[in-house]
Structure 1
Amino acid sequence: MIEKTGVFSVVGRPNVGKSTLTNTLCGAKVAIVSNKPQTTRNRITGVLSQDPYQMVFLDTPGLHKAKNALGDFMVKVVNKTVADVDAAILLVEPVARIGIPEQMLIDRIKGEKMPCILVINKIDTVEKEELLEVMALYGQAHDFTAVIPLSARTGEGKQELLRELEKLCMPSPALFPEEMISDQPERQLVAEIIREKMLQKLDKEVPHGVAVEIEKWQEREDGLVAINAVIYCERKSHKGIIIGKSGAMLKEIGSTARFEIQKLLDAKVHLELWVKVKEDWRNHPNQIRNFGYEDE
């Protein structure tokens, strides 16, 4: 029985491990992951229901200096999410330096007068002495509710963080059905999986300038799910890179995405990918909204 709930934003600079932490806390993949910054573009909701509590985690884009209209949208998502929750989880790297994104988030959290747990990620990459220095530095910057050293990749420190988060939960019935792990529609999850595979397989600027739209979704009587998806990129030269020589890259993206989509849907999947060009779409608010990146 769910007796108490808590809604927590997961915030930090790009590529600090917010999506990996969200997946680790939920015990399931609800957010795509890559080693490239700004992988997360929208707010992703992950849900953990574990008697007697339900925790809702809001994975956010990394706070960065926006270079286009899509970047402006992502920064707005971060700022809005910090204000809409019971507490914040500020995720930082084990580096004894408070950067501009971290200071901006600390200032915003102070302004909202909300509880905040500092999570120092990637502790498996540093020595204990370095970690103590980081903890001391952040302790001077803000009176955090708790400070948790953690590795989102290995799960070390996860239980300690959950115990601290449970203290911040309030008496309440469940906010989501207990079997739900995310509020994202299946179409959105599938589109994100396809984009994740491009982020993992393509270099430099190309994957940051792509968006994925599901054009067809047909569940056949024999149990097969037929999906047609369009990959939009910003330049004709990028289209050639995504397709690859004799279609090899597009085929590889489709093959790896289909494997994961089948696990998600628990069904056989026929996936067709097409590539189209929408010049400079990240600087056009209407195009951004068309791809589902719309501020609430």
Structure 2
Amino acid sequence: MHKAGFVNIVGNPNVGKSTLMNALVGERVSIATFKSQTTRHRIMGIYNTEDAQIVFSDTPGIIKPNYKLQESMLKFSLSALVDADILLYVTDVIEDFEKNSEFIKKVSELNIPVLLLINKIDLSSQDKVEELVVAWEKLIPKAEILPISAQNNFNVDYVMQRIIKLLPESPPYFDKEQWTDKPARFFVSEIIREKILLYYDKEIPYAVEVVVEEFKENPEIINISAVIYVERESQKGIIIGKEGKALKKVATE
């Protein structure tokens, strides 16, 4: 018997969805930083065993959209409720229930298995975690609630066990050698964007975009040519830095 299915990961920005996905898949599929709204696209990561295939989907955080890019990001998050076999709702020890009341209501009405994962429990007391478990049991009664720490890999293996147990019987959807639905160029652009988000702090907004124009793999070196798009002319100088040192840091580290 072979099992396969789509497992979508949703939750607030910066609760550790991308870190969890990378831990589950065993590959660096999503960029993960301390900043919220890092994930823009819906990214698939594929985990394979002999008897199972899990297609994980990391989605942008649940946000109230203020501009078109955020509207697109929210659509990705909402669509994740429709096409999943299993839903992973990732929260943390400081989530504001009221802020997400509409989304939580949608999740509570789903007719698929929901694993509600309270992440970052290493940053909280046992009493606080127990209080959160009780609160979430009332908000989403059908959910299975599991405290985890994705960063420290605590309880992640058990989450995987539960997912495999809940998967429907199905042949694999993708080749067993495949671990994502995205091409190499996509991950190059995401890694560059991750470095920009980390290195430039708040000077460069989230609207920065990276387009890889050339990607050539040779036996000894990979040649990459990328264009960084920013919102304002003044931001070019910040990206480049004095004598090009800032841009060189992005390109080489």
Range of TM-score over shorter length: over 0.9
The correspondence for 1:175, drawn from 160, 166, 173, is 173
Say which is worse superposed, 50-59 or 241-250, in terms of deviation. 50-59
CA-CA distance at 1:97 after TM superposition? 4.6
CA distance in 2, matches of 1:205, 1:119: 33
- After superposition, the C-alpha distances for 1:10-63 in whole angstroms (9 at most, x for unaligned) are 000111110000000011100111111110001010111123211111100001
Q: Counterpart amino acid of 2:104? A: I
Corresponding residue for 2:236?
239
Corresponding residue for 1:63?
62
Corresponding residue for 1:46?
45
CA-CA distance at 1:204 after TM superposition? 1.1
Corresponding residue for 2:19?
20
Please tell me whether the aligned partners of residues 6 and 168 of structure 1 are also in contact (alpha carbons under 8 angstroms). no
Corresponding residue for 1:289?
none
Please tell me whether the aligned partners of residues 107 and 140 of structure 2 are also in contact (alpha carbons under 8 angstroms). no
Secondary structure of residue in 2 paired with 1:209:
coil
TM-score by length of 2: 0.95
Say which is worse superposed, 247-256 or 90-99, in terms of deviation. 90-99
Q: How many residues align?
A: 253
Residue 113 of structure 2 is aligned to residue 115 of structure 1: yes
CA distance in 2, matches of 1:187, 1:96: 34
Residue 241 of structure 2 is aligned to residue 209 of structure 1: no
Distance 1:74 1:96, change over 3 A: closer
Residue 187 of structure 2 is aligned to residue 227 of structure 1: no
Say which is worse superposed, 10-19 or 103-112, in terms of deviation. 103-112
Distance 1:58 1:205, change over 3 A: farther
Please tell me whether the aligned partners of residues 11 and 60 of structure 1 are also in contact (alpha carbons under 8 angstroms). yes
CA distance in 2, matches of 1:109, 1:50: 29
Residue 252 of structure 2 is aligned to residue 255 of structure 1: yes
CA-CA distance at 1:203 after TM superposition? 1.4
CA-CA distance at 1:68 after TM superposition? 0.6
Structure 1 unaligned runs (5+)?
Answer: 257-296
Please tell me whether the aligned partners of residues 123 and 131 of structure 1 are also in contact (alpha carbons under 8 angstroms). yes
Secondary structure of residue in 1 paired with 2:145:
strand
CA-CA distance at 1:207 after TM superposition? 4.1
Please tell me whether the aligned partners of residues 10 and 89 of structure 1 are also in contact (alpha carbons under 8 angstroms). yes
CA-CA distance at 1:112 after TM superposition? 3.5
Corresponding residue for 1:74?
73
CA-CA distance at 1:223 after TM superposition? 4.5
Secondary structure of residue in 2 paired with 1:228:
strand
Corresponding residue for 1:87?
86
User: Structure 1 or 2: larger helix share?
Assistant: 1
Corresponding residue for 1:273?
none
CA-CA distance at 1:107 after TM superposition? 1.6
Please tell me whether the aligned partners of residues 137 and 143 of structure 2 are also in contact (alpha carbons under 8 angstroms). no
Q: Counterpart amino acid of 2:160? A: L
TM-score by length of 1: 0.82
CA distance in 2, matches of 1:216, 1:159: 38
Distance 1:105 1:205, change over 3 A: farther
Please tell me whether the aligned partners of residues 96 and 130 of structure 1 are also in contact (alpha carbons under 8 angstroms). no
CA distance in 1, matches of 2:69, 2:143: 33
User: Which 4+ residue blocks in structure 1 deviate beyond 6 angstroms?
Assistant: none
Q: Counterpart amino acid of 2:13? A: P
For the aligned residues, what is the CA RMSD? 1.6
Secondary structure of residue in 1 paired with 2:249:
helix
CA distance in 2, matches of 1:154, 1:30: 18
The correspondence for 1:162, drawn from 160, 169, 180, is 160
Please tell me whether the aligned partners of residues 10 and 17 of structure 2 are also in contact (alpha carbons under 8 angstroms). yes
The correspondence for 1:145, drawn from 143, 146, 157, is 143
